[in-house]
Structure 1
Amino acid sequence: MKKILITCTLFLLIVSCSKKSDNTTIIENAAENTTSSFPIKRMGNSEAIVDGIFNEQIKKDEKLKKFHEKFLALQNDTRVVNNIYNDIISNSESYYNDAQIRAKNIHDSLLKKQLLALVLNSSEKYDLKVRNIEKLKIQTNQN
């Protein structure tokens, strides 16, 4: 029993003292080459750290700066177009609601029925177009 214990101990000692692997040297080299002018210690969460590093890179790289400006302009244009689109949708919905209310106030039953059918038909076509546009909008936002 003692011989097995001594043999195992010697084997573990020899294995543990053997040459280090390449992974250790890669990790050591990676740790040595980490220099940044960005004060990471001050940041609280990883998103702020990423933003800080990105802002540092923008200062250094003119192409990245131009790309970022185009990206921000595109985001702003998207917001403006969405606001205009939402205003148009809101106005159109108000139009159809107003048309329906006015058609219901007509006293001639035949004319009232025809106008309500016309407004309903037009409203359904409009709703179909809006749904298709909403699908395209969702697909565009996903891309």
Structure 2
Amino acid sequence: MKKILLASALALSILSCRENNPRQAPTVENAVDNAESSVSNSIKKNTDYSSRSGNLVNEIYQELIKNDKALQELDIRIENIHKETDTVLSEYDDILGKSETYYNDATALSNSITDSISKKQIEKEIKESSEKYDVKTQNIRDLISKIKSNKAALYNEYIVFKIRKTLPEIEKYQNAHPLKTDSLNQCINKQNKLLEELKKIK
């Protein structure tokens, strides 16, 4: 009986704490609250939960660029160069990849040759052709490597830029939602009061 009373009392204590701790309305409009609101409305309208990025930095940034033409244009330029880079790399990777696949397949196929003289001769020819193509395409592969390096650098700088752009917004949000100890202290007092009462129950 005492255990039932204890469980009930603690449950009431938790509920009363929740009731006394309502979500405070922001004193200043900020991108963080707007981002959360936009995401919430988007989820209610769309059952496809993959539409939410799931990253608050990205959500706040999207909120910021809504009314900023310069940021919108920057985003479009970054997206376009990303698409263009992928298109260019895909074309070259396909051509170089086919040659690499051919030489690997030719080498594997040559292993089935039982005549040792013929086998050594064809392996030599495969190697010479492969090395000649490597020399011929070295400059191309260097340029591809540079493009991939730049792509990674652009991605890194873009992430840094978005975080720096949104840091003031989270700070604005924090200031708009000041945390006070009143409701926490009230909750503790109620808990302590119930605990004392329970200790006296026999």
What is the TM-score of this pair, normalised by structure 2? 0.40
Give the drift of 1:35.
3.3
Which residue number corresponds to residue 38 of structure 1? 34
Helix, strand or coil: the match of 1:38? helix
Which runs of no fewer than 5 residues in structure 1 stay unpaired?
A: 1-30
Contact map agreement 1:38 1:52 (CA 8 A) in 2: no
Return the index of the structure with the highest Cα Rg.
1
Helix, strand or coil: the match of 2:60? helix
Is 2:96 the counterpart of 1:89?
yes
Is 2:68 the counterpart of 1:61?
yes
Change (3 A) 1:99 1:133: farther
Please list the CA deviations of residues 87-135 of structure 1 after superposition, one character each: whole Å capped at 9, or x if unmatched: 2232112321344467667898666544421211332452994875675
Which residue number corresponds to residue 43 of structure 2? none
* Higher RCO, 1 vs 2 (CA within 8 Å, ≥6 residues apart): 2
Quote the RMSD (CA, aligned, Å).
4.2
Describe how 1:105-124 pairs up with structure 2 within 5 A.
113-124=120-131
Contact map agreement 1:100 1:116 (CA 8 A) in 2: yes
Distance 2:114 2:56 in 1: 69
Change (3 A) 1:140 1:40: same
Paired positions, count: 113
Is 2:135 the counterpart of 1:140?
no
Code of the residue aligned with 2:88 in structure 1: it is V
Distance 2:65 2:95 in 1: 38
